[in-house]
Amino acid sequence: DAKTTQPPSMDCAEGRAANLPCNHSTISGNEYVYWYRQIHSQGPQYIIHGLKNNETNEMASLIITEDRKSSTLILPHATLRDTAVYYCIVRVVGGGADGLTFGKGTHLIIQP
């Protein structure tokens, strides 16, 4: 799986949009971009994934650049409960059976 680079930490004010960047310059054509988050003392939680088109669900939006070398996870209206470590992971299409490789992620802190 391709390697990802994320900032170690970010702050965001409550109610604002949180934009979390991820670089994956070596991504292959058949690799998806996945985002998970881990709230303190809990197991990781799936957020969203995409291949090349922008994606949106009830939790977040995922913006992938045209060259697919980077992406941004957007939490439109951050709340205190969004404070967590966010992991950006790239993996092969149909890799539901293969384990996820977690990096260090971004520790997002939502400030009241």
Partner 1 sequence: DAGVIQSPRHEVTEMGQEVTLRCKPISGHNSLFWYRQTMMRGLELLIYFNNNVPIDDSGMPEDRFSAKMPNASFSTLKIQPSEPRDSAVYFCASSHRVKGTEAFFGQGTRLTVV
User: Of these, 26, 45, 65, 111, which contacts partner 1 (CB under 8 A)?
Assistant: 45
Of 12-20, 41-49, 60-68, 69-77, the segment contacting partner 1 by CB under 8 A is 41-49
Q: Using CB under 8 A, which residues numbered 1 to 30 contact partner 1? A: none
Return the structure tokens found at 3.
Answer: 């390697």
Determine which residue in the list 53, 67, 81, 99 makes contact with partner 1, applying CB under 8 A. 99
- Options 8, 29, 96, 112; binder of partner 1; rule CB under 8 A: 96
**Closest approach of partner 1 to the CB of residue 68, in Å:** 17
User: 30: which residues sit within 8 A by CB, 6+ positions away?
Assistant: 92, 93
Q: Is 51 in the site for partner 1 (CB under 8 A)?
A: no
List contacts with partner 1 (CB under 8 A). 32, 34, 42-46, 49, 94-104
